[in-house]
Amino acid sequence: MNKTKVMLAIIATFIITLFTVNTIVWYLQDTATFKQSFSHGATIGIMLIVGWIPAIIVGYDVNDKLEQ
């Protein structure tokens, strides 16, 4: 059950990070819609380079808290 909670925390954090990055890209892009900015090169690049870091940090912290 603990591994499931950690997995859900990681996925939720990744999705929140994705929506945050997507919103920033959508705000800065004049012609793209919110839906189109998901497939924009900047969104994909940022998520590949730094998008997974917050999810790993949150997953590590949740795992430590559940082990105590």
Query: What is the reported pTM?
Result: 0.86
Residue 22 has a pLDDT of 93
What's the structural domain count of the chain? 1
Q: What is the mean pLDDT of each run of 10 residues along the chain (68 residues)?
A: 92 95 90 88 89 94 92
* Structure-token pair, residue 57: 């940090």
- Annotate 7-47 with three-state secondary structure: HHHHHHHHHHHHHHHHHHHHHHCCCCCCCHHHHCHHHHHHH
Instruction: Tell me the residue range of the domain where 36 lies.
Output: 2-67
